Amino acid sequence: MPDFTKYSIPARILFREKMMLNRITDSWNTYVDSRMSRDDANQIRKRLVSNRGRKIIDKKLDKKIKAYCRKAFGSSSYWPWIALYTELRGEFKEGWMPDDYYRFRLLPKVNPEKFMKFSEAKTIDYKLFNESIVAPIIFRTNGRYYNKGGTFKEISEVRKILDSIKGEVIIKPADGHSGKEIMFKKSKEIKLEELPEETDLVIQKVVSQHPELQKLYPYSVNTFRVMTYLGQDGSVEVKFIINRFGRAGIRVDNASSGGAWIYVNLDGTVETFGYDFIGNKIGQKHPDTHIQYSELKFPFIDKVISFCKEVHLSFPYVRIVGWDVFVDENEEPKLIEWNANNPFFNVIEAHFGPYFADLLEY
């Protein structure tokens, strides 16, 4: 608590009022966000049931879900996400965590905002993780350009660096999400004056991926999303691994931008079905390359697991992280980016969880 004795009485009163107002505002924002999240779950569930022509939940199961929410989370109002999970999976699972509880209760507790925000600024990733991450050729922040080591570069120097790079580069907004506003360009064709002016940017080489990932879908870098959890004992646990891939000619693998995902077991084997962003099954083969998902082999998955545990221990200030990892032609993993704000969770929890049942106190 602040030392109020150094303030005058009016100043103390104003300070306390400001703190109280901030708490009220935060509580209201959380309430609104939770309501919106639950509305999303209800809309997705209705669409899912409508498309399928039948529903799993009857009155008896509805009562069971709401009773579980009261027991596990203190309120039956958490039921919409659990209901969606049930419809997606075809059964109810004790221990599930609803997405609104995960986002607005668990994550703020284990990922303090002052540290979580680091994952929202791609221009500092190389400073944090060095050779563990795909290095930038150039990054721009506050309107100025720098090389990967943070040395300022004049526009003429940036132009020379880009002209020396062969092939294609990727230009990413530093605070971008879900593959939005990403550009792919031949390095020599980049016109710096035409890049978005008010946006911090990262420019990287387009990397070459492992043949097994290239076989799955050759037009995007198909990354592994690895969720890790830093436990009370200081050890890092891998909660799940999925592989994300593009479809229909798109260059990014984000499910929210039209891509899809498959579930990868910790031994490197792959589950039968692919899934879209909201958790619908999309068949057993890639729609473009016709690769059977379950026949994919990822013998390097142990390296991916060890790698993610090591990088998490190098930044222990947040406890739940979603790491986006690509694997190169020599089976070596590297980070593309990381997410500590709201790592993708809900439909993976639905189909393959529960993942955080041990954190529930019921």
d(CA 341, CA 163): 36
Q: What is the pLDDT of residues 247-300, one digit of tens each?
A: 999 999 988 889 999 999 999 999 999 999 999 999 999 999 999 999 999 999
Looking up tokens 């002209």 gives: 163
Name all domains of the chain by residue range, CATH numbers in brackets: 18-111 (no CATH), 114-123+209-340 (3.30.470.20), 135-205 (no CATH)
d(CA 228, CA 241): 9
Structure tokens at 341: 């704000």
Q: What percent of the chain has pLDDT over 70?
A: 90
Directed axis angle between helix 79-89 and helix 59-73, to 10°?
130
Q: What is the pLDDT of residues 230-249, one digit of tens each?
A: 999 999 999 999 999 999 99
The values of phi and psi at residue 184, to 5°, are -115, 125
d(CA 225, CA 305): 11
Predicted TM-score (pTM) of this structure: 0.89
Structure tokens at 144: 């100025």
Find the mean pLDDT for residues 75-80: 97
Is pLDDT at 26 greater than 60 in this prediction?
no
Structure tokens at 345: 């969770």
The secondary structure element, H or E, covering residue 305 is helix 301-313
Of 18-22, 35-39, 88-92, the range with the lowest mean pLDDT is 18-22
Is pLDDT at 6 greater than 60 in this prediction?
no
Q: Given the DSSP bridges, would you call strands 183-186 and 168-173 parallel, antiparallel or unpaired?
A: antiparallel
In the three-class reduction of DSSP (H, G, I as helix; E, B as strand; rest coil), residue 150 is classed as coil
Is pLDDT at 5 greater than 90 in this prediction?
no
Find the mean pLDDT for residues 119-135: 94
Average of per-residue pLDDT values in the chain: 91
Per-residue pLDDT, 116: 96
Task: Count the Cβ atoms, other than its own, within 10 Å of residue 210.
Answer: 20
Is pLDDT at 174 greater than 70 in this prediction?
yes
At 196, is the pLDDT very low, low, confident or very high (cuts 50, 70, 90)? confident
Structure tokens at 92: 């109810």
Burial 28-65 (b: 16+ CB within 10 A, else e): eeeeeebeebbebbeebbeebeeeeeeebbeeeeeebb
